Amino acid sequence: MGKDLKGHNLGKGLSQRKDTGKYQANYYNSDGRRISREFATLTEARTWLADSKYEDAHHMTVVSEKMTVNEWFDAWSREKAVLVRPNTMRNYRERFENDIKPVIGRMRIVDVKPIHCQEVLNRMVDIDDPYAYGTVRQTLNTMTTLFWAAYENDIIRKSPVTKIGVKMPVTEKKEIDFFSIEEERRFIEVARNYCYYEQYRLILELGLRTSELVGLTWKCVDLKNREICIEKTLEYRYSTKEWAWGPPKTKQGFRTLKLTNKSYEILADLWNKRKVNEKTPDEFKDIVFLNRTGYPTKNSTYDSTLEKRCKKAEIKKLSMHDLRHTMATRFVEQSTDYKRLSKMLGHSSIKVTVDTYVHETNETVEETTAKFSNYLDSLFD
């Protein structure tokens, strides 16, 4: 029977440390292994102890000293797939299969140390054709999530992915590209004469993600108040050859956007010209952008067609995501209201917006420098 620092009985499996004041909870699981955790409050310790003993008694968590990283990933991914977006789970699996599994997959999970996780990342850049920064970062995120879940399930005493022991190796961070003002003018001039012009223009006006554009329904378009509501996404899964509806990428992705003049003009015109295609399945009938077959257009089709339009306009080739980046760049050229831009893009924080999407152009650098120079002149000359 453990006691707190005042001598009060806390109950079986609970105690308070004299050195830190933290509450310690421990029990012996069905395999005879002692499981112990520390908490800042007694309530947290009691809750964890009750939940853990219940899970162990009902075999909700199967723990084995011989469990490998491969075995834990298989068990973890089955449960995780229900909780995250399909794209996120696909990224986890790709990074595990391609980069993590070859290095530590066959190791017992209890034997994995920070140096082993660091080796996974180092191998990705210490080659003739090193991985992009974003891919290496994604691998680190996968390991962090994977081993933290193992810790939370009492499979390991602590995660081997630590801030001190595992660091991002030095690699070039790829910048997302965007159109200059002149390039965007040339693109619009060419694109207006071909299919998908309205879709490309809408992203350049509102900064939508491709999946948000594909899944946009008339139910979410309010022409009277000149706004649209982003509440779902739609993507084609080539692995299953099926269309998949889903929520926006982040919680902040659920948002209402005010329409620009051009985006309002495009949607109002499409509303007036809309026609019902008998071949369209019921789940797609309310979608704004349907092709001639009565179905949504696949993400890859937008990208491949965009490449052709760029070639026709004799400008650099961009991706659909780069069009979203272009919209953010245009916004920043005329405003420093990053909070507003962050909400428009559906980002989780302003930092993500500034670090990822805000780039200085020659025009903004010169304008900012001129304003600062004039300000100094007014003060001291």
Structure tokens given for 42:
């007694």
Structure tokens given for 195:
């299919």
Biggest CA-to-CA distance, the chain: 82
Where do we find the tokens 């790829």?
Answer: 174
User: 198 near 270, Cβ under 8 Å?
Assistant: yes
User: 234 near 245, Cβ under 8 Å?
Assistant: yes
- Given CATH 1.10.443.10, say whether it is the number of domain 181-364: yes
The string of pLDDT tens digits covering residues 176-187 is 789 999 999 999
User: Per-residue confidence at 361, pLDDT binned at 50, 70, 90?
Assistant: low
User: Per-residue confidence at 132, pLDDT binned at 50, 70, 90?
Assistant: confident
The pLDDT value recorded for residue 359 is: 57
Where do we find the tokens 């994977």?
Answer: 146
* % of the chain residues with pLDDT over 90: 46
The string of pLDDT tens digits covering residues 248-258 is 877 888 999 99
Q: What mean pLDDT comes out for the span 176-201? A: 93
Q: What mean pLDDT comes out for the span 268-284? A: 91
The pLDDT value recorded for residue 61 is: 47
Q: Mapping DSSP to helix (H, G, I), strand (E, B) and coil, where does residue 39 land? A: strand
* pLDDT for residue 146 is more than 90: yes
Cβ neighbours of residue 317 closer than 8 Å, sequence gap 6 or more = 306, 307, 310, 311
Could you tell me whether strands 9-11 and 221-222 are parallel, antiparallel, or unpaired per DSSP bridges? unpaired
Q: What is the DSSP string of 314-377?
A: TS----HHHHHHHHHHHHHHH---HHHHHHHHT-S-HHHHHHHH----HHHHHHHHHHHHHHHH
Residue 351 CB coordination number (10 Å):
11
Where do we find the tokens 């996404």?
Answer: 233
The highest-level CATH class for domain 69-152 is mainly alpha
The pLDDT value recorded for residue 153 is: 84
The string of pLDDT tens digits covering residues 289-316 is 999 889 999 989 999 999 999 999 999 9
Nearest to 208 by CA among 321, 318, 287: 321
* Domain positions in the chain: 2-57, 69-152, 181-364
Where do we find the tokens 């006006």?
Answer: 205
pTM of the model: 0.64
* pLDDT for residue 286 is more than 60: yes
The pLDDT value recorded for residue 358 is: 60
- Given CATH 1.10.3470, say whether it is the number of domain 2-57: no
Q: What mean pLDDT comes out for the span 271-275? A: 91
Q: Mapping DSSP to helix (H, G, I), strand (E, B) and coil, where does residue 37 land? A: strand
Where do we find the tokens 């109002």?
Answer: 268
